[in-house]
Amino acid sequence: MIEAFIEKQPVDINEVFSTLITYAIDDVKDFGAKNTAFSKTLVLPGTKNNNELFGNVFQISRSTQYNPAVPNFGINFNAAVGADIIVFADNTQVFKGILRLLEITVDKNVVEYEVAMFGVFGGFIAKMGNNKLEALDFSAYNHTYTVGAISGSWNTANAGAGYYYPLMDYGTYSTAKKNWQYGTFRPALYVKEYIDKIFAAAGYSYDCALFNTSRFKSLIVPHTQKKLQSFTTTLGSGNLIAPYVVIDDTIPRDVGLAKFDNYTAGLFTANAGFNVFTFTGATGAAVNISVSLEGEYECTPEDILIYLIVDGINVRIDRLPATGTSAFSLSYTEQVTVTTSDVVTINIQSEFANPTYKLTMNTASIGFESLVPVLNPISIGGNVTINDVIPKNILQKDFLSSILKLFNLYVFDDKENDKLLNIEPFVDFYANADRIDWTNKIDRSKPMRIKPMSELNSRYFEFNYKDDSDYWNDLYKKRYNETYNSFKFDSQFEFAKEVQKVELIFSPTPLVGYVGEEKVYSTVFKRTGEVTGVGEENMDFNIRILQAKKILGVTSWNVLDGASVLGSYTAYGYAGHLDDPDAPTNDIGFGVPKELFFVLTSGALNINQFNVYYSTYMAEITDRDSRLLEGTFRLTRKDIAELDFSKLIYVDGSLFRLNKIMDYNATKEDTCKVQLLKVINTIY
């Protein structure tokens, strides 16, 4: 007997209901892919119960309000969102995951629902949808930009949570590549916390020993924008500290400028006198300029005029009438559009040359507010809004997919918890695996197909970071015709020239060192010419992934604000593809670089992602004795209920890994196709 429950509600099933399910964890034909269980299209009858379960969605006039906090059935049913489903055969669970409504057929008074089912991992992917990294909430890490925040973060280089300020060379910030202007320090977030928040936002959790290792918790995603900036509407503000005489007939001048010497700069910067304000934004902006002035004046007999001038144009003129000696108060907000380098001043003058005039300002304030948020450079003492400085337009599912590929991770359902995913690298997945014998389950009346693995795979297998256009990546690509940190595996299969690829969304970040300088930097900038420090340009660049570590015992160096020293240090916050630039023990690149742009005196370069996480896998699927067995097996419901892809399987005395079960009939026990990969070595 087949029973199904959607969001824990029973589903009506008709006599011809058939459930063909495929179970998979890997695909040797697409070795970078990660698979989940799925069903072929199923048809559910439009009974009263099922109609109510699907919220009578077949009614064209139906309109409801969806609440994601409420189970997805009944009047809250939303066809755009997966609904939890569990299928039992004779009280044995044979499937759990999510259900997707594909189509509704209405033939006179008969309603049918075409649906498909996807395993827990597929449900998790569906929940992520097209959400981006910036949709995650990192507001708990908003902070003030100080040298204390920068240097303090180096002490938590493998925390896996919080923010970290690596010393990276973004160009234009260095003095002889030794001392550094504060702008080169930008906050990075940890990969582990991105993953934690992605799972939590989707309503899932995970169990993965790798993610709790010190190495994994040291992985960071650095800042990727040209400048350290944050979205804001406040573009500058200031106020007067003490009263002063603006104009006076004893001083040989006819025009005075209102000053606001307690000024905080944004995209409007002030001159040394705090009375001329220049817009530094890269693009135009609509801005409200708010002004408040209070003081005393005298003018006999002509009037005093107060001008708001933007880009040489009188935007506003206020007249103080000739009343002898009087107090004045003036407040207003004017909306203007400014472009790069426009200058704003408040000019005060008598209307005509007159021997008797004077204006004293007692209080004054000015504020520049953008009508829409704009990116504003962050200076020391400014506020860092973390969500503004993380990489933009990166899909969460693409980010997670690249992490799975980088470490060759398998994702599989938990037997007990339908919102828990287990994650494990291939190299650990089969460690100490149990072994079961399926020899007697083969239907020998049906043919078995045995394929040499070389027949299924291409000649070359490429493991690639994504190209980017910064100077050192471009230089490496031109010299060696390959991307830095990438690797090409040659299977030696003579009958094909095709290439299969594992490609990440991350770009590589070359490490660069300089003569006479101990520190080694991850470097991302454009440069014209070959002279160090000359012709450097900041740039926006593709998302990166690096390992963080606090490096001790370097010659004292300075963090600068112009010529001022903000702090001196004998350590620095390193980040790079190597875990340590002085004596590396591992590399998050796939291959050994053909050239290093710094002097390495000790350490190992061959402990990389390919050698650790893929070499065993590739050795097995391309070995000359490797075989892919595809046969017809009769599996019981108990076999499916206890299905564990980590168990090794004996068939006729040979040991195999279970790769895929295709079109298992959960409705009635029957034969199904099974794909098995021969085990060449259990330990490599």
Domains and their CATH numbers in the chain? 2-128 (no CATH), 230-377 (2.60.120.40)
Tokens of 402: 């690249």
User: What SS3 string covers 141-184?
Assistant: HCEECCHHHHHHHHHHCCCCCCEECCECECCCCEECCCEEEHHH
pLDDT at 453: 66
Instruction: Name the amino acid, one letter, at 385.
Output: T
Tokens of 292: 């408040």
Phi, psi of 402 (to 5 degrees): -70, -35
Global pTM reads 0.82
Radius of gyration of the chain (CA): 34
pLDDT digits (tens, 9 = 90+) for 536-587: 999 999 999 999 999 999 999 999 999 999 999 999 999 999 999 999 999 9
pLDDT at 353: 65
pLDDT at 527: 93
* Nearest by Cα to 504 from 574, 387, 588: 588
Q: Using the 8-state DSSP alphabet, how is residue 210 labeled?
A: G
pLDDT at 457: 59
Q: Using the 8-state DSSP alphabet, how is residue 506 labeled?
A: P
**Which residues sit opposite 300 in a β-bridge?**
none
pLDDT at 16: 60
Give the angle 143-146-150 at the CA atoms, nearest 5°. Answer: 90
* Distance of alpha carbon 257 from alpha carbon 278, whole angstroms: 14
* Distance of alpha carbon 592 from alpha carbon 463, whole angstroms: 12
pLDDT at 131: 94
* Distance of alpha carbon 142 from alpha carbon 443, whole angstroms: 63
Mean pLDDT for back-to-back runs of 10 residues, the chain (684 residues)? 85 74 65 60 88 88 81 89 82 80 88 86 85 96 97 95 98 95 98 97 94 97 95 93 89 80 92 96 92 92 90 95 85 96 94 78 97 89 94 95 93 83 89 88 93 68 95 96 94 74 95 95 92 88 98 97 97 98 97 96 94 89 84 91 89 91 84 90 60
Secondary element (H or E) of residue 426? helix 426-429
Within 10 Å of residue 520's Cβ, how many Cβ atoms?
25
Q: Would strands 546-561 and 285-299 be described as parallel, antiparallel, or unpaired?
A: unpaired
